[in-house]
């Protein structure tokens, strides 16, 4: 079982290029040519991801992901003739990705080209070269942001407390969610170019060869509707996914297979325990390690029996569906719904979260900045959503009642 708290380490701000220097990008022409040949030789491009603790703890900007898109992962197209002027393809350019903006990217490339020329012929001397360097750096916006961010980190800076208060307010505005998620860990050799076709081929399946399904829960920290982002960096406690991706010499692909929104914290706990009971019995019957077993809440005896019966009756945990109306469990799932198999998944559910071929690509998450935005997309929370031991959602209940009143006035 994973706790809902996240690692405490974070950065106060995350300047785009802090700590970088020009030499990091000064590859030889042979290196650049080899990089291009490597990119052209790859058959598949699906988004891998790079998690940053500051995105989790400090509420820094995280790109939202529209899960209804046919191809939700930026850069996941298999088209080799990619448009290098598009931000999602900047990593294919000569010096990799230097900015999110095309003009800034091009000017930084010009700066690096000029520095390489000066490195080969510095005879003009610093008196003549420094003004030109400063002009190019200003045009490329290189280093200015770093200095601004470093200054604002100083508690004596007049904007320091304003920024800290703003971060705190933004974080407090994000809604908690009771999430069960399943992530598939797949050996690269059984992946083909189409993620959906790969998953359809291995589901339903009654063996664990080449595939593991990891079961976890999450509190939707910072309004994120996703699997736990900190699965992808080293932390205390459970490291199953990290040890099979970033932390492995033979890493597996990690696919977010399904994210289930439960109606309450109680349903989340029971649902995770039910799926873990199913997985443990499945591993025993089939003598495999298809489902990594971690600590989870023990569900009632009748729920455990129900999970075991599914295994003995050879009911799979998942089946692929084309019809979105057949979604199981639905949004705001109840205990009965999260303990009924098979779960369904469809094309829009599948998101490549880690690809060994592209381990440094950015990770994107669907994020709700406010409770009202979550209600707008997912519909009204059931009464059980607001019930917690510590009354932590009492304020959200007041917000919800206000939303309902406003509807009546319109």
* Number of C-beta neighbours around residue 95 at 10 A: 20
Identify the band that residue 266 occupies on the pLDDT scale cut at 50, 70 and 90: very high
Q: What is the pLDDT of residues 282-323, one digit of tens each?
A: 999 998 889 999 999 999 999 999 999 999 999 999 998 887
Instruction: Return the axis-axis angle of helices 160-173 and 144-153, rounded to nearest 10°.
Output: 90
Helix residue ranges, H only, 20-125: 29-41, 53-57, 102-120
Spatial CB neighbours of 323, under 8 Å, sequence gap ≥ 6? none
What Å distances lie between residue 262 and 76, 219, 226, 266, 397, CA to CA?
30, 10, 13, 9, 17
Question: Of 99 and 264, which is predicted with more confidence?
Answer: 264
In the chain, the percentage of residues whose pLDDT exceeds 90 is 43
Instruction: Return the axis-axis angle of helices 265-286 and 301-312, rounded to nearest 10°.
Output: 40
Q: What is the pLDDT of residue 208?
A: 55
Give me the residue spans of the domains in the chain.
Answer: 22-172, 174-404
Whether 43 has a pLDDT exceeding 50, the answer reads no
Nearest to 361 by CA among 249, 256, 215, 246: 246
Which of 51-65, 140-154, 187-201 has maximum average pLDDT? Answer: 187-201
Residue with the two structure tokens 């495999």: 288
Mean pLDDT of 266-290: 95
Is pTM beyond 0.85? Reply is no
Question: Of 40 and 360, which is predicted with more confidence?
Answer: 360
Residue 287, sorted as left (phi over 0), alpha (psi -120 to 50) or beta, turns out to be: left
Instruction: Tell me what the pLDDT averaged over the chain comes to.
Output: 77
- CA-derived radius of gyration, the chain: 24
**Are the C-beta atoms of 328 and 337 separated by less than 8 Å?**
yes
341, with CB counted inside 10 A (0-12, 13-18, 19+), is buried
Q: Are strands 318-320 and 343-345 parallel, antiparallel or unpaired?
A: parallel
Q: What is the pLDDT of residue 81?
A: 59
């Amino acid at each position: 079982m994973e706790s809902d708290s996240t690692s405490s380490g974070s950065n106060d701000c995350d300047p785009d290029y802090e700590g970088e220097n020009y030499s990091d990008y000064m590859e030889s022409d042979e290196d650049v040519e080899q990089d291009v040949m490597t990119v052209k030789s790859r058959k598949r491009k699906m988004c891998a991801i790079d998690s940053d603790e500051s995105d989790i703890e400090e509420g820094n900007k995280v790109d939202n992901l529209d899960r209804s898109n046919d191809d939700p992962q930026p850069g996941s197209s298999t088209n080799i003739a990619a448009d290098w002027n598009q931000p999602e393809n900047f990593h294919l350019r000569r010096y990799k990705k230097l900015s999110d903006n095309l003009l800034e990217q091009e000017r930084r490339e010009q700066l690096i080209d000029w520095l390489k020329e000066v490195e080969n012929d510095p005879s003009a001397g610093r008196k003549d070269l420094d003004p030109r360097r400063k002009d190019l750096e200003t045009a490329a916006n290189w280093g200015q942001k770093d200095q601004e961010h470093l200054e604002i980190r100083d508690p004596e800076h007049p904007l320091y407390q304003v920024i800290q208060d703003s971060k705190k307010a933004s974080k407090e505005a994000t809604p908690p969610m009771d999430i069960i998620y399943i992530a598939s860990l797949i050996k690269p050799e059984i992946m083909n170019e189409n993620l959906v076709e790969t998953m359809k081929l291995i589901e339903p399946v009654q063996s664990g060869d080449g595939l593991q399904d990891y079961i976890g829960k999450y509190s939707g920290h910072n309004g994120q509707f996703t699997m736990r982002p900190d699965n992808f960096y080293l932390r205390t406690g459970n490291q199953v996914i990290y040890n099979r991706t970033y932390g492995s010499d033979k890493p597996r692909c990690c696919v977010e297979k399904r994210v289930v929104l439960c109606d309450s914290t109680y349903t989340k706990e029971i649902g995770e325990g039910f799926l873990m009971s199913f997985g443990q019995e499945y591993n025993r019957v089939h003598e495999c390690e298809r489902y990594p077993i971690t600590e989870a809440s023990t569900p009632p005896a009748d729920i455990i029996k129900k999970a075991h019966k599914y295994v003995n009756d050879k009911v799979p945990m998942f089946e692929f569906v084309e019809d979105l109306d057949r979604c199981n469990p639905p949004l705001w799932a109840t205990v009965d719904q999260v303990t009924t198999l098979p779960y369904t998944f469809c094309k829009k559910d599948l998101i490549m979260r880690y690809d060994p071929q592209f381990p440094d690509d950015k990770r994107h998450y669907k994020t709700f900045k406010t409770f009202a935005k979550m209600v707008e997309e997912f519909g009204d929370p059931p009464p059980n959503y607001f019930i917690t031991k510590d009354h932590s959602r009492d304020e959200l209940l007041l917000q919800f009642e206000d939303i309902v009143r406003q509807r009546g006035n319109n």
